[in-house]
Amino acid sequence: MSDTILEPSAFTPAEDRAAGLQRHRGNGDVDPSSSVDDQISGILRNAQHSIRHGYEECEERVRRAPGTSLLSAFACGYLLRSLPVEAILAAQVRLLLSLARPALFLYGTAKVYEYLIGRATPRQ
């Protein structure tokens, strides 16, 4: 996958959602004309939009109530100090690495399927 997926989109959030809705129907069906790369790009774009929206919402909450936000930050810092953060991160990295092989296998299988379907349909 390219780095351009993670760069800010040239579309507005409404256009991103419209493009995602065109590829991904509400009932879980996926438009068969879109490729695996397009679907993954749409999922990443939607995730990026959700993260950006959450960040902006958090920023607005901090502006409205700075005292509460400061108290929350101290509480989070205390919890992080008392938790075994290194062990948690190491477990997450191990989980990610153990799931990478099946994910890459599924991605490769989908690309082979796209290739075979492309060869099977007559081109005009």
The answer to whether residues 46 and 93 belong to one domain is no
Dump strand ranges (E) for the chain: none
Are 96 and 41 in a shared domain? no
The domain of 102 spans 84-124
DSSP 8-class letter at 16 = H
**CA–CA–CA angle 86, 91, 95 (5° rounding):** 150
Whether residue 17 sits in one domain with residue 4? yes
**Domain total for the chain?**
2
pLDDT of residue 32: 61
Taken in order 23, 4, 52, 84, the sign of the CA dihedral is positive
SS3 state of residue 32: coil
Both 60 and 104 in one domain: the answer is: no
- Same domain? For 68 and 20 the reply is yes
Q: Taking the complete model, does pTM exceed 0.85, yes or no? A: no
pLDDT per position as a tens digit, 29-77: 556 667 888 888 999 999 999 999 999 999 999 999 999 999 999 999 9
CA distance 52 to 12: 12
